[in-house]
Chain A
Amino acid sequence: MLDQWVFIAFLLPVGLLLPAVAIAMGFLLGPRKPNPLKGDTYECGIETVGSTWIQFKAQYYVYALVFVVFDVEAVFLFPWAAAYNQLQLYMVLEGILFVAILAAGLIYAWRKGSLEWV
């Protein structure tokens, strides 16, 4: 069971290491002449005003809430789909009912205007 993950445990560090080596090479071989203007924030040549790390209005936060509901429920559907061969018709209908409830949730959010850009 865990045996399956050994390859991924090797591949992910390698995938992280190769670009790290490339960037390190850039640091070693590239020039390094810092000056205050170069290190400043670049916003089209105009001096930056105020801090960037402030509370920022994300217009789509309602979408994000709907997303959480959908993604969590979709994960519940995967075992159902993987066992599809062994399911009886009524079990498939139960799964479809679950998806239909999900669809009803989407229609509700739609009617409430949660899917509008605010």
Chain B
Amino acid sequence: MIADPFAWVYAQLTALLLSLGMTAVWAQTTLRFLGAAVLATVLLVSTFFLIWGERKLLARFQDRLGPNRIGPWGVFQTVADFVKLIGKEIIVPTRADKAVYLLAPLLVVLSVVGIWAVVPLAPGVVGTDLEVGVLYIVAIGAVGTLGIMMAGWSSNNKYALIGAFRSVAQLVSYEVPMVLVLLVPVILASSMSLVGIVEAQAGMWFIVMAPVAALVYLVTSIAENGRAPFDLLEGESEIVAGFNIEYSALAFGMFFVAEFLHSFTIGAVVATLFLGGWRGPGAEAYPLLGFVYFLLKTLSIWFVIVWIRATLPRIRIDQMLGFSWKFLTPIALGILMLTALIDKLAAAAGWNRTLVLVLANVVAVVVILSFVQGYARLQRRRDQAPPVSVTATPVALH
């Protein structure tokens, strides 16, 4: 029981349901439904504390105290905010497309909760071991962008529409490098299932074998989440509030629940794909320990995401698209070809797989940096070049 509490609870519940006269199939289905309900509820409740944690961390980054009034260290601040939001009026604009307007926040939350179905939480504890898990993550993640597009469009507000258009621009740009670098862990594990990918990391975490791919994946998922520095869809200084301008009370709150839970979810996916998921010393013997490792890894990635938010300013939209298409996509294509080739050559020649892949990544980083350096030098030269005599012949501009 202490060794494996998850299996123990499962066995107890199965025995209980069977003693109630259920067939084995029905008992299993009931437990799956129960598992889904518990998972979704725990996730949404944990959002209260994630929001508090993020506000507290941001406050510390900015040399403030942050919420500190309600409960010890202010932990119940978000609960109080939630209670306040319940008492506020949900305004549905008269000119809005009401059904779409109310459906949008639900879809955004659904897309984040849905990702957790395939993330292995501890050895043997996973919603479902989907054979196409990696593709499922990409697909369900895109539903969130659909929800934001629906919110912006149905509000019948020009600023909201511009915010929605920006979020689509972000999706179509960052989805390409994201899908391409997702192929790297799939190649290394020869499996698309997340359980299979965690199993393949028994010897070495993939972040050691593919650090460039891990970094590109982290950046693209932050962009898909629409967080700083990619939060153009709610650029307050430009488009009032962006896609959620017409929303109020809990309908508005749901977008934020989804956003804050999404950053934690990105942490979980990165931890699973690149940091070995629940792997750690003694995790296989004690699944509870595996869960603790998984949580620690997830929280450290989440901390990095909050750190990035506190550090970097918002970038301009043409820079954002250029960054994806002219920087991340070539890197993703290159690292994919490099990993596929080097890994097969290492296997054929009998070299140490990890060592060769680390070397290949170091070479890739050096090449990327020299390209960036060359580009910066070119840009500087262009800026410093003496202006062509425009004043003498203004007609010769064309």
Contacts of A75 in B (CB 8 A): 135, 179
Q: Is the CB of B341 within 8 A of A92?
A: yes
**Which of A5, A36, A82, A85 gathers most chain B CB within 10 Å?**
A82
Q: Known A71-B176, A85-B190; judge A5-B128 contact (CB<8 A).
A: yes
Contact with B32, one of A6, A15, A42, A87 (Cβ below 8 angstroms): A6
Contacts of B398 in A (CB 8 A): none
Task: State in angstroms the CA–CA spacing of A20 and B345 once bound together.
Answer: 53
Q: Known A67-B172, A99-B336; judge A117-B322 contact (CB<8 A).
A: yes
Contacts of B106 in A (CB 8 A): 16, 19-20, 23
Contacts of B251 in A (CB 8 A): 23, 26
Q: Is the CB of B130 within 8 A of A4?
A: yes
| Beta-carbon nearest neighbor of B133 in chain A | A4
Question: Count of B residues near A, CB < 8 Å?
Answer: 90
Asked if B60 is an interface residue, CB under 8 A from chain A, the answer is no
Min CB–CB distance B340 → chain A (angstroms): 5
Task: State in angstroms the CA–CA spacing of A48 and B134 once bound together.
Answer: 44
Task: State in angstroms the CA–CA spacing of A98 and B37 once bound together.
Answer: 43
Contacts of B155 in A (CB 8 A): 41
| Beta-carbon nearest neighbor of B102 in chain A | A23
**Which of A22, A33, A43, A56 gathers most chain B CB within 10 Å?**
A22
Contacts of B35 in A (CB 8 A): 7, 10
Question: Count of A residues near B, CB < 8 Å?
Answer: 69
Q: Is the CB of A23 within 8 A of B40?
A: no
Min CB–CB distance B266 → chain A (angstroms): 17
Task: State in angstroms the CA–CA spacing of A83 and B190 once bound together.
Answer: 6
Contact with B326, one of A11, A29, A81, A110 (Cβ below 8 angstroms): A110
Q: Within residues 59 to 118 of chain A, which ones have a CB less than 8 A from any CB in chain B? A: 60, 63-64, 66-67, 70-71, 74-75, 77-78, 81-87, 89, 92-93, 95-96, 99-100, 102-103, 106, 110, 115, 117
Q: Is the CB of A103 within 8 A of B157?
A: no
Q: Is the CB of B180 within 8 A of A74?
A: yes
Contacts of A26 in B (CB 8 A): 85-86, 88, 90, 249-251
Min CB–CB distance A104 → chain B (angstroms): 10
Q: Is the CB of A84 within 8 A of B254?
A: no
Task: State in angstroms the CA–CA spacing of A60 and B191 once bound together.
Answer: 34
Contact with B92, one of A22, A39, A52, A77 (Cβ below 8 angstroms): A39
Q: Is the CB of A41 within 8 A of B114?
A: no
Interface SS, B side: helix
| Beta-carbon nearest neighbor of B258 in chain A | A19
Q: Within residues 1 to 42 of chain A, which ones have a CB less than 8 A from any CB in chain B? A: 4-8, 10-12, 14-16, 18-20, 22-23, 25-27, 29-34, 36, 38-42
Asked if B394 is an interface residue, CB under 8 A from chain A, the answer is no
Contacts of A106 in B (CB 8 A): 325, 329-330, 333
Task: State in angstroms the CA–CA spacing of A43 and B162 once bound together.
Answer: 12
Asked if B29 is an interface residue, CB under 8 A from chain A, the answer is yes
Q: Is the CB of A7 within 8 A of B32?
A: yes
**Which of B105, B107, B183, B317 gathers most chain A CB within 10 Å?**
B183
Contacts of A99 in B (CB 8 A): 333, 336-337, 340
Contacts of B156 in A (CB 8 A): 41, 52-53
Q: Is the CB of B105 within 8 A of A60?
A: no
Q: Within residues 222 to 281 of chain B, which ones have a CB less than 8 A from any CB in chain A? A: 240, 245-246, 249-251, 253-254, 257
| Beta-carbon nearest neighbor of B344 in chain A | A92
Min CB–CB distance A108 → chain B (angstroms): 13
| Beta-carbon nearest neighbor of B92 in chain A | A39
Min CB–CB distance B161 → chain A (angstroms): 6
Q: Is the CB of B158 within 8 A of A103?
A: no
Q: Supply 21 A–B pairs (Cβ within 8 Å), ascending by A.
A: A6-B128, A8-B117, A10-B32, A11-B116, A15-B112, A16-B106, A19-B106, A19-B254, A25-B86, A26-B86, A41-B95, A43-B158, A58-B165, A70-B179, A74-B179, A74-B183, A75-B179, A89-B344, A89-B345, A89-B348, A115-B322
Q: Which 9 A-B pairs have the closest CB atoms?
A: A15-B113, A117-B318, A26-B250, A10-B36, A39-B94, A85-B190, A7-B128, A67-B172, A11-B36
Seed contacts A18-B44, A26-B88, A78-B183; 9 additional CB < 8 Å A-B pairs? A7-B35, A11-B127, A12-B113, A15-B109, A25-B250, A42-B240, A56-B161, A78-B132, A115-B321
